[in-house]
Each structure stands twice: as structure tokens, then as C-alpha cells.
Amino acid sequence: MPDPLQLLRELIALPSVNPAFLPDAPDLTGERRVADFLAFQADREGLEIEFQEVFPGRSNLLARLTPPGGRAKRRILLAPHLDTVGGAPGQFKPVVKRGRLFGRGACDTKGSVAAMFAAMLNVATAGPRPRETELVFAGLVDEENGQCGSRALARSGFKADLAIVGEPTRLEVVTAHKGDVWLRLETRGRSAHGSVPHLGRNAVHEAARVVDLIETTYASQLKRRRHALLGHGTISVGAMRGGVQANIVPDQCDVIVDRRTLPGESEPGVRRELAALFRRHRLRVAIHDAKGEPCDPTETDPRLPLVREFLAAAGRRRTVGVAFFCDAAPLSAAGTPSIVFGPGDLAQAHTVDEWIAVDSLKRATRILTRFLQAQP
């Protein structure tokens, strides 16, 4: 049976930083090294391998364990992502100490890759193999940037009866997460010489009023709408850019905001809500999309039989919600009920000393193996 700890050590040693974060470092970027390593291991154990190209040189890896005869009555998808955020060279050397494995991706989310892949190989090599259920491991690309891997898989028509999306959830079973809307709020003014500012109209001043309105009135308004698992929506001002130099009255300013949405909310609805707010306060603001792809919230019914089966395998009585966005949303939107599960704690994700508890990794592997072996 594969050792998930050794597997994770090998995965960390294969850098797979999303190229969006290190465009000029080919030795550290791209998921290809990890995908090829996993494909070799899966092929050796008799799994069917498929590469689904998303970008040139960057492909989703699909490894299938198909029932005898090739006929399946149901399909379970294990879907962690292979890319990581950037890091210093030393972070790609795995180190184990005090019951923790340190290294880039240990928590987010190569820990989930290791646990899910090890569980698949456990079923393939030690059995029992499901006779009516197809098991699919999908190592997805680009989650850390645009979720293009899960979007490509969804657009291909792939569907499953349940997707388990790998993210650090502290072994909690997640059935709801918030959506993420990024907007660029643009204010316009009229430039003038800094010695006669009354001849101009200061776009930065207008933008400052917009920021104050968002962080006070609008943020308070969001707190009055609550979801049972997710609490209330939020908005955060992430950047403000305007002006050229001290002696020119700025004629343009951009405010970049991050709005986390609840199930039932949408980007068009958020835009309408903000536009009405600005009108009421006589602020002239153009609202632009700053993300490029929809990142809607998702919610899966915890009463679905397969969700209840997984809860039982995980030893949990209830599901939870999380504030972060992930690959579960594109898969759910395409018709695959999706939950989020994995070892590790989000508090360690993307940190300089990223780590995962070895016990959490091994427990996740046992839970996933138990669930997969119980499939008919």
C-alpha cells in the first residue's frame, strides 16, 4: 500500500508553481512534472490515464479505475489541484519535524493530492475494487489563478455522482462555500494644476468617498443577510490607484474590491446593488469586472445519499461552510454535486513555513480509502 507521507514528500520536491505568479521561472512553474509523476505511478498499477490539455504544456490528469466490463452505474470524482503559489527555492525541499511536514504545497493542496491518490492506489492494489462504480482521480491545473482546469473539465461534459474537491478543511466535510466577485470601481474627475485645484475635480477624493461608503454603510448592510453555514457576505477594498504626481489634480482613480457572495447572490446582482447605493449618495462610479470568469457560490444538499455516506466515513455528524472559493463551484455548476474535503488547515496555506500535520494526512487517506472501498 502506498505511503501518503512519502508520496507527499516527492510531490513537494517537484515544483508546480502557477505560472501566473512566476512567469519567468520555467524550472519552478507548471503542473507537468507532478502530472507526469502521478501518471507513471497510476499506469504502473493498471489505472487508465488521460491528459486533458488546458493550456499548452499544462493538462489535467485523469486516472480512472473502471469496473470490470467497463460498465459503471455511478462515478466518484476525486479532484485536488496540482498547482501551488510561489515560494523560495528552499520551500521545495520537504522537511519533517515535530510531526509536521514542511514545504510549498504541503497544505494547499498537495496534501490532498497525496491522500486522494494514495486512496485510489489502495483500492486498485489492495481492493476491494468497486464492481459498479467508476473512480476517477483528476489532478487539476490552475486552481490558484483562474480555476481553468476545473472549468475545462466541466465544459468537456464530464459529470460524476459526487465530486470530492481537495482543499485543506481540517478533515471537515464542506458542502457550501462563498463566491468571489472582483470589481474595479472607476471615478472620473478633471485635471488641473496643483496650485489651482479649484479649477479641477479630484477623482481620488471621489474614490475616497466610495471607499468610505463601502467599508461602513455597505459592509454593515451585508451583515444583515446571513446563511446558515456561511454567515454573511463581505466586501474588502484591496487596492486604490489614482493620480500621477503631487502637482496635478487627478482626473481618474480605480478602486479594486473583493466581494464574497452567498448562495442566491450573483455578480449582476452585486453590481446592481452597488450602482443603486452610489446613486443614492450622488457618487459617479463606473463598475467594471476585474476577474474575467464567474466565481459563483456553491451549495450541495447535505442530505444527498453519497454525501451522507461520506460523512459517515469521515466520522462527522454535520457539514460545514467555508469562506474561500475553489474548484467545487465550476464542477457543481456543470451538474456534479460537489463537496470539499482534505487534510491540513487553511491557516497554513500560502505561508512562508507552510506545513501539514502528518497525522491529518494519514487520517485523510484512511477516510478516503474507507469511502471508496465501500462503493458498490
Q: What is the pLDDT of residues 146-162, one digit of tens each?
A: 999 999 999 999 999 99
Structure confidence at residue 127 (pLDDT): 78
DSSP letter at 338 equals E
CB 329 within 8 A of CB 79: no
The DSSP string of 130-184 is PSSEEEEEEEBS-TTTT-HHHHHHHHTT---SEEEEE---TT--EEEE-EEEEEE
Structure confidence at residue 281 (pLDDT): 97
- Which CATH number fits the domain that encloses residue 275? 3.30.70.360
Structure confidence at residue 88 (pLDDT): 81
Rounded CA-CA distance 176/305 in Å is: 17
Q: Which of 236, 256, 289 is the last residue of a domain?
A: 289
240 and 136 inside one domain: no
10 and 117 inside one domain: yes
51 and 99 inside one domain: yes
Taking the CA atoms of the chain, what radius of gyration do you get in angstroms? 23
Question: pLDDT by residue for the chain (376 residues), tens digit each?
Answer: 689 999 999 999 999 999 999 988 899 999 999 999 999 999 999 999 999 999 999 999 999 999 987 789 999 999 999 999 998 888 999 999 999 999 999 999 999 999 999 999 999 998 788 999 999 999 999 999 999 999 999 999 999 999 999 999 999 999 999 999 999 999 999 999 999 999 999 999 999 999 999 999 999 999 999 999 999 999 999 999 999 999 999 999 999 999 999 999 999 999 999 999 999 999 999 999 998 888 999 999 999 999 999 999 999 999 999 999 999 999 999 999 999 999 999 999 999 999 999 999 999 999 999 999 999 9
74 and 145 inside one domain: yes
114 and 164 inside one domain: yes
283 and 306 inside one domain: no
72 and 125 inside one domain: yes
211 and 349 inside one domain: no
238 and 337 inside one domain: no
128 and 164 inside one domain: yes
CB 257 within 8 A of CB 236: yes
The DSSP string of 29-97 is B-SHHHHHHHHHHHHHTT-EEEEEEEETTEEEEEEEEPPGGG--SEEEEEEEB--B----GGGGS-EEE
Q: Which domain holds residue 240?
A: 179-289
Q: Which of 256, 289, 322 is the last residue of a domain?
A: 289
39 and 79 inside one domain: yes
Q: How many domains does the chain have?
A: 2
169 and 208 inside one domain: no
Show the cell assigned to 107: 497544505
The DSSP string of 208-225 is HHHHHHIIIIIHHHHTTS
The CA–CA distances, whole Å, from 159 to 42, 71, 150, 282, 332 equal 21, 15, 11, 48, 9
Whether omega before 187 lies within 30 degrees of 0, making that bond cis, reads: no
Rounded CA-CA distance 366/122 in Å is: 10
Q: Which of 249, 266, 289 is the last residue of a domain?
A: 289
Show the cell assigned to 82: 496540482
- Which CATH number fits the domain that encloses residue 86? 3.40.630.10
Instruction: Return the SS3 of 10.
Output: helix
- Predicted TM-score (pTM) of the model is 0.93
Rounded CA-CA distance 213/222 in Å is: 13
